[in-house]
Amino acid sequence: MTQWREQRDRAVAAHSAALERQRAAEAAQGRELVADFVREAKARGLQPEPLSAQSYNGSTRFKTKLRGWYLNQARTIAVGEDAKYYVLLVPHSFQARFTGVAPAPQDPPKIVGEGGRDGESMSLKEMLVRRLSQVEG
């Protein structure tokens, strides 16, 4: 029985390590896509704008010190001038109405919105290409 547990523990550890390597590789690819997007957006003259964050309940928008480009119509996902990926959803805060919020950058996902309740998901690459195409209209 002990040998079986040791084998199982090794298999779980190996599986976990493989998933972490895959996640790290996808995040690195996402960071590269985001950096390419920022370079291309600037080259095309797509001007960054001040970014705001939305409360989880959707009732309030809060100022941030970030500038960049919104990627979705709801204005909850963005790329900053700093070539970082942001999810602009924050807890509601009375104080934040006056002081603003500072969303932390996140690792960009391969698929944006995957597993979300609304069922709408799109590859990060497609989302970035779509946003860049808006300048050509």
> pLDDT per residue over 58-116, tens digit each?
889 999 999 999 999 899 999 999 999 999 999 998 898 899 999 999 999 998 876 56
* The most confident of 19-23, 48-52, 73-77, 107-111, by mean pLDDT: 48-52
Whether 35 has a pLDDT exceeding 90, the answer reads yes
Q: Is the dihedral of CA 131, 127, 25, 107 positive or negative?
A: positive
Phi, psi torsion values for 93, nearest 5 degrees: -150, 125
Burial (Cβ within 10 Å: 0-12, 13-18, ≥19) of residue 41: buried
Task: Give CA–CA dist 34/40, Å, rounded.
Answer: 10
How many domains would you assign to the chain? 1
**pLDDT, position 137:** 45
pLDDT confidence tier of residue 48, bands split at 50, 70 and 90: very high
* pTM of the complete model: 0.84
Whether 49 has a pLDDT exceeding 50, the answer reads yes
pLDDT, tens digit, 9 for 90 and up, residues 111-129: 887 656 655 788 999 999 9
Whether 40 has a pLDDT exceeding 90, the answer reads yes
